[in-house]
Every structure is written in structure tokens, then in C-alpha cells.
């Protein structure tokens, strides 16, 4: 929901709470206790305003809250030459170097996939690797001696 919509929701909710509490107290609850309508509606309005203040506080927190970014839409950037950025976990082979491709690990029972990171994942240097989750695979940048992955 956009910011304007959240503010509109906050305002409408605050107004509705004020009207509902004022009416319920002035028309249903307080007539059993007070005979004078001027006193009864004065107290009902004060109670409605008090509860509406709590609703307004809630509405302001909802309206000014920064919406959570969907982890599936988290920014993932691989900007450098031969760089790799993975927004979630990795269970495969990642190789950015000149050496031979690393041997994948032996097959294991599939692990539960790691949830994607809600933060920005960026690999900006040459042959850099950035992961936003857990790594269970082989990762090699080719920076080992003689370009041979270990």
C-alpha cells in the first residue's frame, strides 16, 4: 500500500473509532448511569477522543512505517568482471577463476533452502562472490596458487 493510502487508512480508522466509541457510550452505556444528556454526551465525547488518540497513534505508526521489501525482490548485483552474486543460498559450484572447474561435492540429502536475504547482495570486485544465504556448495575465485582451486 502506498504512503497516501496508509495515511488515509489511519485517518478513516481514527474517525471511525471516535464515532463508534462516542455513540456506544452516549447512546447505550451511559444512559443507564446518567440522566442528563449534556453530561452524558460530554463524557462520551471525552471517552471517544481518548480511544481515538490511541487509534491515531497506531495509524501514525502504520502510515510512517517503511514497507518491508519482498526477499524475492532483494537487489542482487554482480558488477565486477567475472563476479557472482546470489540472493539466497548456494548448493552448487561457483567458479570465477581461470583454473579447472572445481569438483562438486558428493551428493547429500537435500537441505532446506535458505531464505533469500532481505539485504542488498552485491559482488563488485573482479572475481568476487557475494552470497545472501548459506553456502553448501563449492566456491572458487581462482585466486589460489597456480589458479588451481582447492
Write b or e for each residue in 43-65: b if 16 or more Cβ atoms lie within 10 A of its Cβ, otherwise e. bbeebbeebbeebbeebeeebee
Write b or e for each residue in 120-142: b if 16 or more Cβ atoms lie within 10 A of its Cβ, otherwise e. ebbbeeebbbbbbbeeebbbbbb
Task: Determine the pLDDT at residue 89.
Answer: 75
Q: Longest Cα pair distance anywhere in the chain, in angstroms?
A: 95
Task: Determine the pLDDT at residue 44.
Answer: 97
Cα dihedral sign for 77, 83, 89, 91? positive
Model confidence pLDDT, tens digit, residues 13-36: 999 999 999 999 999 999 999 999
Tell me the whole-structure pTM to 2 decimals: 0.48
Task: Determine the pLDDT at residue 139.
Answer: 77
Task: Determine the pLDDT at residue 68.
Answer: 67
Model confidence pLDDT, tens digit, residues 87-125: 777 777 777 776 666 566 566 655 555 454 455 777 777
Residue 113 to residues 11, 70, 139, Cα–Cα distance (Å): 42, 17, 17
Task: Determine the pLDDT at residue 38.
Answer: 95
Amino acid at each position: 500500500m502506498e504512503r497516501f493510502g496508509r495515511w488515509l487508512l489511519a485517518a478513516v480508522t481514527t474517525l471511525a473509532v471516535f464515532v463508534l466509541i462516542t455513540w456506544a457510550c452516549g447512546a447505550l452505556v451511559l444512559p443507564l448511569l446518567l440522566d442528563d444528556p449534556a453530561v452524558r454526551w460530554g463524557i462520551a465525547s471525552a471517552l471517544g477522543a481518548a480511544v481515538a488518540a490511541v487509534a491515531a497513534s497506531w495509524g501514525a505508526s502504520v502510515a510512517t512505517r517503511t514497507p518491508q521489501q519482498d526477499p524475492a525482490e532483494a537487489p542482487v548485483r554482480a558488477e565486477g568482471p567475472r563476479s557472482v552474486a546470489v540472493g539466497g543460498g548456494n548448493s552448487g559450484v561457483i567458479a570465477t577463476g581461470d583454473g579447472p572447474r572445481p569438483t562438486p561435492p558428493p551428493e547429500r540429502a537435500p537441505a532446506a533452502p535458505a531464505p533469500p536475504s532481505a539485504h542488498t547482495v552485491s559482488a563488485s570486485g573482479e572475481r568476487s562472490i557475494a552470497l545472501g544465504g548459506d553456502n553448501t556448495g563449492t566456491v572458487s575465485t581462482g585466486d589460489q596458487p597456480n589458479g588451481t582451486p582447492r
